[in-house]
């Protein structure tokens, strides 16, 4: 049987697709807030990145990951991946 016709795999994949849609809409909301942060920081002449804040976020997410039974290393990699994108946006805003 081809993988796309396997009913067990299809049920799993339907759940993954639902979760992915939720992740995309949440990420869109997150970037709406960080765009506002970027504009505010430009307005207030604050630096685009804040290492102290990032360290706090990483610690907090690692703790939440343990609670959620998610690999804390992965949660840190995930946050760094998102923050890299946010800093890029902030730098673009500052350059405007």
Nearest distance, CB of residue 95 and a copy of itself, angstroms: 17
Nearest distance, CB of residue 76 and a copy of itself, angstroms: 11
Q: Closest CB to a copy of itself among 74 and 91?
A: 74
Instruction: Calculate ∠ Cα 17-64-30, nearest 5°.
Output: 55
Q: Closest CB to a copy of itself among 3 and 96?
A: 3
- In a 10 Å sphere around its CB, with 0-12 CB exposed, 13-18 middle and 19+ buried, how is residue 77 labelled? exposed
Q: Which residues contact 34 (CB under 8 A, 6 or more apart)?
A: 86, 89, 90
Q: Closest CB to a copy of itself among 57 and 94?
A: 57
- The site for a copy of itself (CB under 8 A) is made up of 3-4, 6, 8-9, 12-13, 15-17, 19-34, 36-37, 40-41, 44, 46, 50, 52-53, 57, 60-61, 64-65, 68-71, 74-75, 78-79, 81, 85
Cα separation of 77 and 62, whole Å? 10
């Amino acid at each position: 049987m081809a993988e796309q016709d396997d009913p067990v795999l299809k049920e799993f994949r339907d759940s993954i697709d639902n979760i992915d849609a939720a992740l995309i809409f949440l990420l869109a909301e997150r970037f709406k807030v960080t765009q506002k942060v970027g504009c505010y920081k430009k307005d207030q002449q604050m630096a685009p990145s804040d290492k102290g804040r990032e360290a706090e976020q990483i610690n907090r997410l690692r703790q939440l990951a343990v609670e959620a039974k998610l690999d804390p290393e992965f949660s840190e990699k995930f946050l760094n991946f998102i923050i890299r994108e946010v800093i890029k946006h902030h730098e673009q805003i500052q350059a405007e």
